[in-house]
Structure 1
Amino acid sequence: MGDANPAEWRVTVAIGGIGLLLVVVTLFVTLGRRLRQPAVVGEMTAGIVLGPSVLGLVSGDLPETLFPLSVRPYLHVVSQIGVLLFMFVIGWEFDRALFATHRRRAALVWVISLLVPMSLGVILALLLYRHSALAAPDGTPLLGFVVFIGVAMSITAFPVLARIIVDRGLQGHTIGPLALALAAADDVLAWCALAVSVALVTFSGIAGYLSVVGWTLLYLAVLVTVVRPLAKWAARRLPSTAAPYVGAVLAGAVFLSAFATSAIGIHAIFGAFCLGLMMPRESDAGVLRQAIVPLRQIGLVLMPVFFIVTGLSVDLTTLSGPALLLTVVIVVVACVGKLGGVGLSARLSGMSARESIALGLLMNTRGLTELVVLNVGFSLGLLTVQLFSAMVVMALFTTAMTTPLIGAVLRGGAVARALPSVGKDRVERPTSALK
């Protein structure tokens, strides 16, 4: 039926595939909600089920039938549009006041809670690189691989975490805003470290790396000196009736910024996130705040395509024997790094044992952010299929365990109330763009 015009037929199949996956993802998200899981758990599970791990076990190679190899580049483009808009919104809604409100306690907890999982990740990466053929493909640069695994092990999913905090009613307690502050700071540093890792892999030699650094500094300078003042001017001067046109310009700016950072060599998502950071905040946002609404919704609608593209690359059937052991080790290291690092530093800062454990569980949530990072590494050739699949399992496990365990920890006793200055509105605002 598609022989007359193969290109048009591939587009048709891609459209049909997107329609199917949106329906399937919705079913899994609904099921996850009944199990009191955040939407991202259902979306991650749907992606794995539609890939070779589950659907591929049925005779006839259904993943290839539903999502042929010739169609997947189209799906990848659509998924990247969703990810870029999502990262832009996350950058825009990053609340610097969260960290400032808890800066004394947050500073101590953040440093230790970041160093411990990152250090464990670096040690694990060194061992895997030297002693396991399952980890890094041939020719992978050691430094880039080590930095990447260190970053991947230290990730906390800020958007998913914020949704869990609101769902559990923790926005009025000390651990809710503190966890958000720590996760937000984690995200900013993680994206910067990821950019370094990408640059180390993309360019060989000191000259190439210095070129990336130079162009990155120029890019950031343009954002601060040109884009940010222009955005503030537009927010003050443009009427609310211009919101639809401003939304189109913002979307164009997101893609151009992503193109710029990709051309520099630090990946497209870095450009979308940084542009979001440059946008005016609440009181200065004006018409821009109205224009972001359709961008947020488009990003949320297209994000399920990202999970399917990820799921098509995950093959759990390869996780047997040594690969299964590798998966267990990664999950253990990830949990020990975050739970141990956060819990220990929280206790040192004066929090109770129950609050420290609860904060560690919240910070152990990887979710969507981890998948975005892993896809970057996989696309760069830093991860084998086995290691990529094992890391995705870790992301799913650490996210799914948070809600039931946090309920069990807090059920036995009360936790300290936050100061009145940290109110419900401040914590709930970022969840408008959440999974």
Structure 2
Amino acid sequence: MTALAGAGAQDMRLAVLFADMALVLVAGAALGRLAQKFRQPMVVGEISAGILLGPSVLGLLPGDLPARIFPADVRPLLSAVSQVGLVLFMFVVGWEFEKRLIRPHARLAAGVSLTSIAVAFGLGVALAPFLYDEHSSVAGHHISFAAFATFLGTAMSVTAFPVLARILHENKLLDSRAGSLSLASAAIDDLLAWCLLAYVSALVTAHGDYSELARIGLYSLLYVAGMLLAVRPLVARLVWRWAATERWSALLSVLCAGALTSAWLTTWIGIHAIFGAFLFGFVMPREPAMVLAEHVRRPMDHVSVVLLPVFFIVTGLGVDLGALTGGDVLALVAIVVVACAGKLVGAILPARMAGFSWREATDLGLLMNTRGLTELIILNAAVSLGVLDGRMFTMLVIMALVTTAMAGPLLSRRGAIPVPDAPGQDPETAAPPADVGAPRT
């Protein structure tokens, strides 16, 4: 009887998980489309749906509805589903990282990217002492100032390559100097963001033990070398052989298994799982391009379309606006100002030095200030590492939403982009054009 009761309870948890996923997908689609009507990326609506379903809005009603709809024993299952989608998405991001986007603007793109990261990172670290005392402990565990400040600087440094690619395509800015340069710079930004996240992961995992940090660093170098020197040629040989015999189902299964295994390995080493998934995608062969796009990448895109909204809404469920104090509101304003100033100044200065007009340089800064999904991934990684408490997570998610939402309206008001006749596809989940080479996000 006990076994039957246990089986029944497990079945009920799964049933609630299925119902929650159905609610999440419908709410995300509805709010996402509504966001598009206001010329916003769909991800803004999907995160907003999570905020509405969480303690910030639904939790204000009597009956503790968020806890009833998303019970505590079901939330880990919902989070696990979202993490699988995230790992597979990061595999695609790494796979579709295109060097050809960078080559035409390599020197200037590197300058814009490095300067914008350096200024934003420096301002984030400078802000950290004013926030640290209030957020130095997470779930009873002390967080070192170095880990907190490094992560805050990393969060300020991010530019979302996927959302930027879609904004440029939909508004016909790909051929403009600011558009093409921002895309190349954002590609470098994303790559550096994952490296910074890997460093923060190692720093937190080592708990201030320099011998442990050295071990993580050594294992990470061995892992990267193994992926580039051993895994890359093996995967290339496998892809060409199985593509020639059209063993697509087997190939897709092996590649997904490879991404998940690589994510497990980097977690074991002490750096975050998404770095492993990204690097496994990075070492993937790009040829034969047409058949891989049809038989491998497209099915992976479909998985992302279903599972990524779960990730967005799970992120929104963790946002609790009601928990913010008056001091937190001031801190939130400071975070948004610092985040915008870092990217705008860091992008405008090198652009002006390269001969861009003030108008073009400002457009570039606004484009580089978009954070989107990349920021959300890093924030969730920080939560899983125990670096962020709930209030700081809430403030940084709001910052990500503000900086993502402001680019389109500000560029439109400045006359940089035309007002579209109809809302386009989601910059976070729709497939960008083939000539952009951006990930299907």
Q: Which residue of structure 2 lines up, in the alignment, with residue 322 of structure 1?
A: 327
Q: Which residue of structure 1 lines up, in the alignment, with residue 134 of structure 2?
A: 133
Q: Which residue of structure 2 lines up, in the alignment, with residue 310 of structure 1?
A: 315
Which region of structure 1 is more displaced relative to structure 2, 11-20 or 92-101? 92-101
* Gap change, CA 1:210 and 1:24, over 3 Å in 2: same
Cα distance in 2 for partners of 1:329, 1:376 equals 23
Cα distance in 1 for partners of 2:143, 2:389 equals 10
* Gap change, CA 1:369 and 1:279, over 3 Å in 2: same
- Find out whether 1:407 has 2:415 as its counterpart: no
Across the two proteins, how many residue pairs are aligned to each other? 419
Q: Which residue of structure 2 lines up, in the alignment, with residue 201 of structure 1?
A: 204
Cα distance in 2 for partners of 1:104, 1:12 equals 54
> Residue 3 of structure 1: CA displacement?
8.0
* Gap change, CA 1:73 and 1:117, over 3 Å in 2: same
* Gap change, CA 1:411 and 1:219, over 3 Å in 2: closer
Cα distance in 2 for partners of 1:136, 1:187 equals 29
Percent identity (aligned): 46
Answer yes or no: is the 8 Å Cα contact 1:235–1:286 preserved in 2: no
Which region of structure 1 is more displaced relative to structure 2, 223-232 or 330-339? 223-232
Kindly provide the amino acid, as one letter, of the partner of residue 264 in structure 2: F
Q: Which residue of structure 2 lines up, in the alignment, with residue 109 of structure 1?
A: 112
Q: Which residue of structure 2 lines up, in the alignment, with residue 227 of structure 1?
A: 231
Which of residues 50, 55, 65 is equivalent to 1:52?
55
Answer yes or no: is the 8 Å Cα contact 1:53–1:314 preserved in 2: yes
Which of residues 63, 80, 83 is equivalent to 1:77?
80
Cα deviation, 1:200-240, whole Å, max 9, x if unaligned, reads 11113111111111111121122112211012212322226
- Find out whether 1:336 has 2:344 as its counterpart: no
Cα distance in 2 for partners of 1:58, 1:428 equals 45
Cα deviation, 1:63-114, whole Å, max 9, x if unaligned, reads 1111101001100110001111111111111111111110132232222111
Answer yes or no: is the 8 Å Cα contact 2:336–2:399 preserved in 1: yes
Q: Which residue of structure 2 lines up, in the alignment, with residue 255 of structure 1?
A: 260
- Find out whether 1:364 has 2:365 as its counterpart: no
Cα deviation, 1:289-325, whole Å, max 9, x if unaligned, reads 3212211210221011112221221101122300111
Cα distance in 1 for partners of 2:289, 2:92 equals 13
Cα distance in 2 for partners of 1:390, 1:167 equals 30
Which of residues 132, 137, 146 is equivalent to 2:149?
146
> Residue 409 of structure 1: CA displacement?
2.0
Kindly provide the amino acid, as one letter, of the partner of residue 233 in structure 2: P
Which of residues 158, 161, 165 is equivalent to 2:161?
158
Cα distance in 1 for partners of 2:149, 2:353 equals 29
* Gap change, CA 1:263 and 1:412, over 3 Å in 2: closer
SS in 2 for 1:33: helix
Cα distance in 1 for partners of 2:334, 2:301 equals 37
* Gap change, CA 1:256 and 1:379, over 3 Å in 2: same
- Find out whether 1:26 has 2:29 as its counterpart: yes
Q: Which residue of structure 1 lines up, in the alignment, with residue 426 of structure 2?
A: none
* Gap change, CA 1:358 and 1:218, over 3 Å in 2: same
Cα deviation, 1:259-313, whole Å, max 9, x if unaligned, reads 00011110110100111111112x4446543212211210221011112221221
Cα deviation, 1:22-46, whole Å, max 9, x if unaligned, reads 0010001110111111111111111
Kindly provide the amino acid, as one letter, of the partner of residue 280 in structure 1: P
* Gap change, CA 1:425 and 1:384, over 3 Å in 2: closer
Cα distance in 2 for partners of 1:111, 1:134 equals 28
Cα distance in 1 for partners of 2:162, 2:119 equals 22
Cα deviation, 1:109-145, whole Å, max 9, x if unaligned, reads 222111110100111113322xx41465351012111
Answer yes or no: is the 8 Å Cα contact 1:113–1:341 preserved in 2: yes
Kindly provide the amino acid, as one letter, of the partner of residue 353 in structure 1: W
> Residue 425 of structure 1: CA displacement?
5.7
Answer yes or no: is the 8 Å Cα contact 2:182–2:364 preserved in 1: yes
* Gap change, CA 1:407 and 1:305, over 3 Å in 2: same
Cα distance in 1 for partners of 2:259, 2:291 equals 17
* Gap change, CA 1:339 and 1:430, over 3 Å in 2: same
Cα distance in 2 for partners of 1:247, 1:140 equals 40
Cα distance in 1 for partners of 2:215, 2:290 equals 37
Cα distance in 1 for partners of 2:220, 2:86 equals 21
Kindly provide the amino acid, as one letter, of the partner of residue 17 in structure 1: D
Any stretches of 5+ residues in structure 1 without a counterpart? 414-423
Any stretches of 5+ residues in structure 2 without a counterpart? 419-431
Answer yes or no: is the 8 Å Cα contact 1:85–1:295 preserved in 2: yes
Cα distance in 2 for partners of 1:135, 1:393 equals 20
Cα deviation, 1:338-373, whole Å, max 9, x if unaligned, reads 112111221111111111111111110011110110
Cα distance in 1 for partners of 2:395, 2:67 equals 22
Give me the TM-score of the superposition, normalised by structure 2. 0.91
Which region of structure 1 is more displaced relative to structure 2, 250-259 or 173-182? 173-182
Answer yes or no: is the 8 Å Cα contact 1:44–1:311 preserved in 2: yes
> Residue 410 of structure 1: CA displacement?
3.2
Kindly provide the amino acid, as one letter, of the partner of residue 304 in structure 1: P
Which of residues 335, 359, 378 is equivalent to 2:383?
378
Kindly provide the amino acid, as one letter, of the partner of residue 347 in structure 2: V
Cα distance in 2 for partners of 1:182, 1:288 equals 27
Find runs of 4+ consecutive structure 1 residues off by over 6 angstroms.
none
